[in-house]
């Protein structure tokens, strides 16, 4: 029988993350939405608490440590992927931009966890890593990356430009995707850990954005930037049979996290909308057919069903990662569904509440602005559906474009 409740071992974590979202994130959410690019200093205390949990063997709520694990006897495992997803849902119930601004919990940290060998994992322990993939000419198609890494003695020399790097201005390390040989296509795409301050690496711009304004988004230029060979994550070999599976493994861990962000935001929108509808005298009755209730109540129930479907898909993808099961299909399904639900639910709630939700009297208008990025980064809606189609039909990227 399938248990749809949160795992018992993580109920304490969920409660703690929710308390952080309620007591720390919500009160400063509007402040840092208005003060774009200003670092939320209040997060330093929270980062120290998360570090303490990880150092003591606990499992935190951020993206810092993800892994694939299996119990010795082959029984079901609920590990770091599940804990990260459950914690992220709660934090993003508070504020997505602030969750993305947590020190040492960046998406680059998840990339290191997914691909690094044991020595690298230990060496980069405690860093705050952003992830740099997108380029002016390579957005949804990661295989179109043109940032070049050329072997030179004991180093690789990087040249290229990365845009839309989340936490790119504040982090201390960046995981950079680059190609060893453009003619070799996807198989030559590798990821490199580049510490901030490395000569030839420059943050040239911080972007102004529609939403998640508490999180900085940077453009980074690499000009003859020398990176030690030992900072290449995974194997340096160009294996055409495996393509860039090592690099893409990162997405199997991070896409459920982004889905979790959308789920947290959608739940926040639904809860606030329920409160406002009930205050206006709209009754939501789950024991009556939707068609026999007010139109607003029926629409609300429909949005709740979409939210629940996205939540369960996301938990499935995280559970599979924890149990060493291939989850690329499920990760893309979760990201596609949750990204769409986050946008549709937040906008739907805005419509149900009406003009009051369009002002800054509530956070509903902010959540609607924040939601759209969750349908875009880590692979757009259209790319996720394309990946799902390829997996289901058994087609390669060249066969189904």
Query: Which pLDDT value is given to residue 278?
Result: 96
Q: Which one from 59, 90, 306, 378 is the annotated catalytic residue?
A: 378
Mean pLDDT throughout 171-184?
A: 93
CB neighbour burial string for 132-142, b if at least 16 within 10 angstroms, e if fewer: bbbbeebbeeb
Candidates 40, 29, 35; CA nearest to 94 is: 29
pLDDT beyond 70 at 56: no
DSSP state of 187: G
Phi then psi for residue 217, to 5 deg, are: -130, 120
Domain borders along the chain are: 8-123, 129-233, 245-393
Higher-confidence position of 368 and 6:
368
Query: Residue 65 — very low, low, confident or very high, per pLDDT cuts 50/70/90?
Result: low
Q: How far apart are CA 60 and CA 256, in angstroms?
A: 16
Place of tokens 């029926």: 298
378 tagged catalytic: yes
Query: Which pLDDT value is given to residue 273?
Result: 98
pLDDT beyond 50 at 1: no
Query: Which pLDDT value is given to residue 241?
Result: 59
Candidates 88, 94, 99; CA nearest to 25 is: 94
Place of tokens 């099961």: 325
Quote the mean pLDDT of the chain: 89
Query: Which pLDDT value is given to residue 79?
Result: 85
Give whole-number Cα distances, 229 to 101, 237, 273, 293, in Å: 29, 12, 52, 64
Q: What's the CATH number of domain 8-123, 3.40.50.970, 3.40.190.10, 1.20.1630.10, 1.10.540.10?
A: 1.10.540.10
pTM: 0.92
Q: Which CATH superfamily is domain 129-233 in?
A: Butyryl-CoA Dehydrogenase, subunit A, domain 2 (2.40.110.10)
pLDDT beyond 50 at 57: no
């Amino acid at each position: 029988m399938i248990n749809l409740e949160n795992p018992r071992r993580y109920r304490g974590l969920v409660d703690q993350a929710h308390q952080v979202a309620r007591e720390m994130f919500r009160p400063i959410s509007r402040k840092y939405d208005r003060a774009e690019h200003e670092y939320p200093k209040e997060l330093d205390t929270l980062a120290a608490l998360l570090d303490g949990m990880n150092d003591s063997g606990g499992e935190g709520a951020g993206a810092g440590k993800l892994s694939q694990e299996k119990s010795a006897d082959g029984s079901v495992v609920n590990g770091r992927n599940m804990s990260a997803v459950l914690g992220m849902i709660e934090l993003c119930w508070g504020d997505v931009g602030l969750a993305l601004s947590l020190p040492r919990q960046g998406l680059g940290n998840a990339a290191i966890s997914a691909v690094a060998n044991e020595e690298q994992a230990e060496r980069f322990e405690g860093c705050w890593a952003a992830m740099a993939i997108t380029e002016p000419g390579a957005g949804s198609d990661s295989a179109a990356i043109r940032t070049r890494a050329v072997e030179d003695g004991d180093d690789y020399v990087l040249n290229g430009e990365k845009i839309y790097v989340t936490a790119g201005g504040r982090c201390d390390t960046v995981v950079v995707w680059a190609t060893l040989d453009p003619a070799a296509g996807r198989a030559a795409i590798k990821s490199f850990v580049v510490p901030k301050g490395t000569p030839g690496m420059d943050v040239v711009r911080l972007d102004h954005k529609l939403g998640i304004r508490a999180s900085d988004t940077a453009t980074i230029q690499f000009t003859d930037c020398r990176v030690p060979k030992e900072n290449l994550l995974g194997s340096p070999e160009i294996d055409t049979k495996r393509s860039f599976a090592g690099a893409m493994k990162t997405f199997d861990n991070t896409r459920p996290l982004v889905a979790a962000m959308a789920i947290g935001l959608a739940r926040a929108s639904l809860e606030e909308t329920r409160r406002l509808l009930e205050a206006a005298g709209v009754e939501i009755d789950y024991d009556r057919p939707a068609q026999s209730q007010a139109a607003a109540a029926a629409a609300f129930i429909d949005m709740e069903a979409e939210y629940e479907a996205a939540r369960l898909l996301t938990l499935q993808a995280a559970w599979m990662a924890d149990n060493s099961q291939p989850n690329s299909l499920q990760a893309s399904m979760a990201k596609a569904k949750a990204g769409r639900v986050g946008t549709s639910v937040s906008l739907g709630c805005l419509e149900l509440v009406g003009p009051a939700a369009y002002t800054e009297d509530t956070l509903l208008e902010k959540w609607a602005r924040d939601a759209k990025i969750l349908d875009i980064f880590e692979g757009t809606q259209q790319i996720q559906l394309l990946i799902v189609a390829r997996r289901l039909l058994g087609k390669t990227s060249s066969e189904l474009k």
